[in-house]
Chain A
Amino acid sequence: MTFNIYDFTSFNRWIDEGLNSIMSPTWALITEMAIIGIVFLLFYAIVGLFLVYAERKVCAFMQNRVGPNRVGPYGIFQTIADFIKLLMKELVYIKDSDKLLFNIAPFIVIIASFMALSAVPFAKGLHAIDFDIGILYVIAVSSLGVVGILLAGWSSNNKYSLIGAMRSGAQIVSYELSVGLSLLTIIVLAGTMQFSEIVEMQRNGWFIFKGHIPAIIAFIVFLIASTAETNRGPFDLAEAESELTAGFHTEYSGIKFAFFFLAEYMNMFLVASIAATVFWGGWMPFHVSGWAGFNTIMDYIPPLVWYFGKTAFIIWLMMLFKWTFPRLRIDQLLTLEWKYLLPINLVNILFMAFLVLMHWHF
């Protein structure tokens, strides 16, 4: 077995063959699924905790504050302490709430983001499933989360929660279109929906450079729409704390609240990694065709570094948005989508199709 941080294919094959040699294929498959599940769960928790910490630090940076700095060096254990606190808190049950839906809602939200994460390629050979309809799958699965939010708002027996859930429903259904169409623009350019192939096609240049003008427009639209889809500021109407106290998760406490909280950050991570994969080449290093020496140096940087670097940059952009802009109103939010983003997107797809037909892309 050769463990190679540039290519995980042989490592995966080694695990697969090893398991198959000691047990029946069915059990090997089940064991593999369990391993992947545990690895993703750990990854989910670690990334979630790290993002909460990062958000607090970025927010503090924007607001002339220091941020968490007491628990551990630079406060890095602050989120872990917070998480333990949330674990130990009492789960408050609301009178006259729909118990079943109330309990199910956080799981739906977290499962949706968890499932979508499985299609993301982290490095060469390092993805759970490589669908040939990867992008479609991610769009389909990640929009399941809205069901959880609607259920949470509906079952809480709280009018604020209900208003938050209604807003969230309208918002996510609308912005889903823009997310889908902006990704479609790139699919037109790439000709495939499989993530591994999309990444492989960007070996000679990321799509944002290859598709130049329409790709940049699509990226900006995707960034706006995905910020809205993850219910983050300036589109955080569903949990607008100054209007609706905390919107759909007002009545949740303890670990269930933590689930919503974690899911928000994981959704942010997810859309950032989709943006990084589709527009910025995912784990693919920065290559300039013709510059062989430069490309070789870039190749020495491990794919995981590229991947997380790009994702972190997009997450950082989204955090800057949140801590800069005031919140939109619900009608302005829908106007932005239906009157501006959607027409821009449709024209952009035509433009991109024309570009591909004429071979005007790089």
Chain B
Amino acid sequence: MKEIINLPVSKIEEEEYHINMGPQHPSTHGVLRLLVSLQGEIVKSLKPHCGYIHRGIEKMCEKDTYPQVIHLTDRMDYLSAHINNHAVCLLVEKALEIEVPERVKYIRTIMDELTRIQSHQLWWSSFGMDLGGLTCFFYGLRDREMILDIWEETTGSRFLQSYNCPGGVMQDIHPNFQKKVHAFIKTFKKKIKDYDRILSGNVIFENRSQGVGILSKEDAISYGVTGPSGRGSGWSCDIRKIEPYSMYGQVHFNEVLRYECDTYSRYMVRMQEMHESMNIIEQLIDNIPAGDHSAKMKAVIKLPAGEYFQRVESARGELDVYVVSDGNKTPYRMKFRTPSFTNLGVLDHISRGMKIADLVAIGASLDLVIPDIDR
């Protein structure tokens, strides 16, 4: 205390103190630890410390066969579990040069978009909660429940479905599937207006998010911030458009881009994406062709020796899978480029000079999923 009093004024102003946000903190939504340097309430810098939920998934993959690997990918980004599965399946099919039935492509695409919607719903819920609007949380979870019910019927699981398998999907869709998806879209189109009413148009929310956490397009590209966060900075980085897979080449949808580069713009991109996802589902749901739900696969899947790479657009951004195979039934080396990890990298850059409350809003707008960072 005495030393501080004797310091010259300019020195006192430079005094920083550190707080640990996390690993147990309500706004990190998991075990992420941010070592934040503060001056008063202003964030001077922050250092993310990862690894609290590191499970070594990439290493575990080296011991597992390809169908087993799919179950591990569920556990990376648990909110876009289906899309993670999809990436590995696409890679295996590409390596084995298998053409999957049309029906499978339709089902996978619909499931992908349902995954995206429920992920954005949960993101919206927690975004509202991080900003102090606790009611949002329940609105989002209430509507998400409908998608989970659809999944439960078809895949047998509500959260980590592991529904994709190399060559197709585990089992055919439930007879109620189309009816329920229609019901969901009809309901959600009404409910999403409530979302806008309670959060998007709220003056407090707009003040909290507009002009906060500016991420320029150049920075987004150089930091590799993909997904809705990158598109909020006006960077066209949607893998569904760049390298269409499954049915994305055939359906019509817009890549949502916004150019304000702030938290609000990242927020609005995700809100718009939910509309686009519903649009995609509506184009596909009535036209699912008849056929088999899986291609004929060998009992033991062995990838020919070589290197393989597949990109998909997960709910959070670009998910890349890279496999080096030595011709065995297990991969020699497997690497995932997960969107949350790269998006986390930009957090320090865009939250400097902001308040603690802004840091929470920025963190929420990047939509980080912690197991996806650590793997």
Contact = CB atoms under 8 A, between A and B. Distances in A.
Interface stretch (B7-15, B19-27, B275-283, B300-308): B19-27
B285 interface: no
A62 B194 CA distance: 13
Contact of A241 (B26, B133, B135): B26
Interface in B197-227: 198-199, 202, 204-205, 207-208
Contact of B208 (A163, A167, A326): A326
A329 B27 CA distance: 15
A326 B132 contact: yes
A89 interface: no
Interface string A161-176: 0010001000000000
Given A63-B135, A64-B138, A244-B356, 19 more contacts: A65-B138, A160-B19, A163-B356, A167-B41, A236-B132, A242-B130, A242-B360, A324-B133, A324-B198, A326-B128, A326-B199, A327-B208, A327-B357, A328-B204, A328-B207, A328-B208, A329-B207, A331-B355, A332-B204
A78 to B, nearest CB: 19
A325 B135 CA distance: 9
B119 to A, nearest CB: 20
B199 A242 contact: no
Given A240-B357, A243-B360, A327 B26 contact: no
A85 interface: no
Nearest to A325: B204
A332 to B, nearest CB: 6
Interface in B119-135: 128-135
B132 A242 contact: yes
B95 to A, nearest CB: 44
Contact of B17 (A64, A159, A332): A159
A214 interface: no
Interface of B: 17, 19, 25-27, 41, 128-139, 142, 198-199, 202, 204-205, 207-208, 355-358, 360
Nearest to A332: B207
Contacts of B355: 329-331
Given A64-B138, A64-B139, A242-B27, A325 B133 contact: yes
Given A242-B132, A243-B356, A64 B26 contact: no
Given A233-B132, A242-B131, A330 B199 contact: no
A64 B140 CA distance: 11
Interface in A307-334: 323-332
Contacts of A160: 19
A63 B198 CA distance: 12
B60 to A, nearest CB: 33
A241 B24 CA distance: 12
Contacts, number: 80
A348 to B, nearest CB: 22
A327 B132 contact: yes
Contacts of A323: 134-135
9 residue pairs, one from A and one from B, having the closest CB atoms: A327-B132, A63-B138, A326-B131, A326-B133, A242-B27, A329-B357, A242-B130, A326-B132, A159-B19
Of B17, B139, B204, B355, most buried by chain A (CB within 10 Å of CB) is: B204
B34 to A, nearest CB: 12
A62 B207 CA distance: 24
A326 B142 contact: no
A323 B41 CA distance: 26
**Listed residue (A233, A326, A331, A332) with the most chain B CB atoms within 10 angstroms of its CB:** A326
A112 to B, nearest CB: 25
Interface in A35-69: 59, 62-65
Interface string A16-50: 00000000000000000000000000000000000
B43 to A, nearest CB: 12
Contacts of B133: 324-327
B134 A243 contact: no
A243 B208 contact: no
Nearest to B126: A242
A324 B138 CA distance: 12
Contacts of B17: 159
A326 B202 contact: yes
Contacts of A329: 207-208, 355, 357-358
B135 A243 contact: no
A325 B205 CA distance: 8
A65 B41 CA distance: 35
A111 B83 CA distance: 57
